[in-house]
A = this chain, B = another copy of it.
Amino acid sequence: MTTNTQIKLARRPVGEPQGSDFEISTATVPEPGEGQVLIKVLYLSLDPAMRGWMNEGKSYVPPVQIGEVMRALGAGRVVASRHPDFAVGDHVTGTTGVQEYAVLDGSELTKVDPSVAPLPTFLHVLGMTGMTAYFGLLEVGQPKAGETVVVSGAAGAVGTVVGQIAKLKGCRVVGIAGGKEKCDFLTGELGFDAAVDYKRGDLKAALRAACPEGVDVFFDNVGGDILDTVLTRLRMHARIVICGAISQYNNTTPVKGPSNYLSLLVNRARMQGMVVFDYADRYAEAAREMAGWMREGRLKHREHIVEGLETFPERLLMLFRGENFGKLVLKVADD
């Protein structure tokens, strides 16, 4: 019998999650029931949103319960199937959780083709990350050619995709990221028009230099001081997409609200939140367009792959420390 190693939420983290907030346990690999599929998990998506899922209280998804396997999006291979649409050997993505094997209903899985792109890419550009960037930018941000689009967390999973789509749409694109290496990557590899290194200090002056005409669309993954600074640079009728606020997720004090929010009034601007699930019926359409851009070499992607299921708690922290460069993916097993 093969065992299934699982990472469960042991208690609700206070501030930055600790190793002791999780427990590693082993279980028997489950059998799929009628309509279900057993998946060997190969890769897991590590996302800032996971921190929110660990908290109690109302949000856009129910919290992970204490003692439950930690929620995660994963990609894997079918090893047993009792669903007519899935055969052993098929590759799939779904909410597998942080474990080696997962049983899911066929209806909860998406079949993916590793000849189109490597598996981790289906957790990135062709998965939730890409969908978040695509719909958040295009549907909520509504950029027009010639406008200035600024994205925070620009060298991260969502940010790299947002910036490139904005370039494809004819915008001037400015990324905010931490460190020279990331900034150089944005302008040198991904074609951003400018990058601002928030670690160098005087973000306001740097942003003014990078966006002399002001900001039409701001896609925010970070919140805190970065959001507050961009608010000072809005153009008339600007749109701010609230995708996340990674700077605030581990707070033990209240979230820092944007002091400069009255810039919305002065500039007749709007700030709007988005959750990617609302666009589920259009994922396939977006993935086709994104895959086309990838084939043409107009949409690059960078995955930052780390290994070892047991390392989940410490790997997750890389996101909050800005240690990932591109989409952070945890490799669980060889295919």
Residues of A participating in the B interface, judged by any CB pair closer than 8 Å: 58-60, 223, 228, 242-245, 248, 254-275, 278
Query: Which residue of B255, B256, B265 is within 8 Å of A60 (Cβ)?
Result: B265
> Does A273 contact B278, Cβ atoms closer than 8 Å?
no
Q: How far does the alpha carbon of A273 sit from the alpha carbon of B267 in the complex, in Å?
A: 7
- With CB as the reference atom, state the residue of chain B lying closest to A259: B257
- With CB as the reference atom, state the residue of chain B lying closest to A240: B271
Stoichiometry, as copies per complex, reads: 2
Contacts of A256 in B (CB 8 A): 257, 259
> Does A265 contact B259, Cβ atoms closer than 8 Å?
no
Query: Which residue of B262, B266, B271, B272 is within 8 Å of A255 (Cβ)?
Result: B262
> Does A268 contact B259, Cβ atoms closer than 8 Å?
no
Query: Which residue of B60, B244, B255, B261 is within 8 Å of A242 (Cβ)?
Result: B261
> Does A274 contact B278, Cβ atoms closer than 8 Å?
no
- With CB as the reference atom, state the residue of chain B lying closest to A61: B266
Contacts of A228 in B (CB 8 A): 257
Q: How far does the alpha carbon of A269 sit from the alpha carbon of B254 in the complex, in Å?
A: 20
> Does A244 contact B258, Cβ atoms closer than 8 Å?
no
23 contacts between A and B (CB under 8 A): A59-B266, A223-B262, A228-B257, A242-B264, A254-B259, A255-B259, A255-B260, A255-B262, A256-B257, A256-B259, A257-B257, A257-B261, A258-B261, A262-B273, A265-B273, A266-B275, A268-B274, A268-B275, A269-B272, A270-B271, A270-B272, A270-B273, A271-B272
Q: How far does the alpha carbon of A60 sit from the alpha carbon of B260 in the complex, in Å?
A: 15
Q: How far does the alpha carbon of A265 sit from the alpha carbon of B49 in the complex, in Å?
A: 12
Contacts of A261 in B (CB 8 A): 242, 255, 257-258, 261, 271
